[in-house]
Amino acid sequence: MSDQLETIEDYYRRVRNNQIKMFDSDDFETGKSHFNVSMRKYCSFKSPYNRRDYYKISFIIGKGTFQYGHHELYIDRPALFFPSPNIPYSWECDGDLQEGYFCLFNQEFFNGNTEFNPFKKTSLFKEWSKPIVFLTEEQTQLATLYFEQMYKLNNSAYPFRCSSIKSHLASVMHLALENRVDDINPSELPANIRLYRLFDELLNKQFPLDSPAYPLALKTASDFADHLNVHVNHLNSSVKSVTHLTTTQIIKERVFEESKNLLKYTNWDIAEIGYTLGFDQPSHFNNFFKKYAEVSPLKFKNTF
């Protein structure tokens, strides 16, 4: 697997260096929620073979070849492409006729919107799913409608455009799932990805948290390793080899994501939220949240 990681900043820089004006990227700020969408007719260049630190969905009308991990995928009919950010990939057009759209968004956008929570329990964007979903004529018309609307909204002054964009993006994901996103046969997956998949499924199965009466059960890397009957070092090495993050980092990021949702959407007090997330003392939760959000839980809650 390539060790090169392309950030959104890298992507926008590469686009500018190729003198391709696809969309406005001036509003991007590191650490802030970000979404953008463009027509594919401008992207006739070959993209580098890299991992990404962002999500990308391509609605492809045209021909070309993806190098995805160790596999080569030739596209010759309308398709949706849902790559895992952790799998390196590149694209090379076959011919000048390239239509459709693509959108990209960062982890903050995907994690910060409860509309997308159901998709985290599916195979979309996962290392063990097949990333290509071929479309029928009817599905191609639907995908065109969804992307056209996102494109128009993204370039409009409509005050509720962000909410509408999320709804249309969710519709694209539902379209892919309705058409069935196939998983790679487990026997074809490397052992590290098989173990990471079990960890990912266990982690996401715990959320959302419904009541302080049912606090988080698996809170540490050791908890997950015990549940999976593997040594914690083996779990850590497998997870890091796939994601380039430690098991603990992934758990903490998921807990932080859930903490924001509980602060936004429940009337639980701060102590209840901290306890439900596995913190023995309110001060421990307060310190944890401030480290990630740079504001206290109470101040964050009071902004909604």
Q: Say which residue, 118 or 229, is predicted with more confidence.
A: 229
Give the whole-number percent of the chain exceeding pLDDT 90.
Answer: 73
pLDDT tens-digit map of 76-89: 999 999 999 999 99
Examine the pLDDT at 230 and tell me if it is beyond 60: yes
Cβ partners under 8 Å of residue 303, min gap 6:
none
What is the arithmetic mean of pLDDT over 285-297? 95
CA angle 108, 238, 236 (to 5 degrees): 75
pLDDT level of residue 183 (50, 70, 90 thresholds): confident
User: In the chain, which residues fall in CATH 2.60.120.280?
Assistant: 5-178
Q: Are 64 and 75 in contact (CB under 8 A)?
A: yes
Q: Are 225 and 202 in contact (CB under 8 A)?
A: no
Cα(62)–Cα(94) distance, rounded to whole angstroms?
8
pLDDT level of residue 24 (50, 70, 90 thresholds): low
User: In the chain, which residues fall in CATH 1.10.10.60?
Assistant: 190-301
What is the arithmetic mean of pLDDT over 22-44? 77
What pLDDT score does 6 carry?
92
What pLDDT score does 25 carry?
65
Weakest-pLDDT range from 46-50, 148-152, 169-173, 258-262: 46-50
5-178 classified as CATH 2.60.120.280: yes
Mean pLDDT of the chain: 90
pLDDT tens-digit map of 252-285: 999 999 999 999 999 999 999 999 999 999 999 9
Closest CA to 300 of 276, 270, 277: 270
Cβ atoms within 10 Å, residue 176: 25
What type of residue is 127? E
What pLDDT score does 1 carry?
40
**Which residues make beta-bridge pairs with 73?**
66
Q: Are 287 and 252 in contact (CB under 8 A)?
A: no
What pLDDT score does 23 carry?
64
Examine the pLDDT at 54 and tell me if it is beyond 50: yes
60: buried, middle or exposed (CB in 10 Å: 19+, 13-18, 0-12)? buried
Examine the pLDDT at 242 and tell me if it is beyond 90: yes
Tokens encoding 200:
């990912």
Examine the pLDDT at 2 and tell me if it is beyond 80: no
Tokens encoding 10:
């890298």
Tokens encoding 225:
């390793």
190-301 classified as CATH 3.40.190.10: no
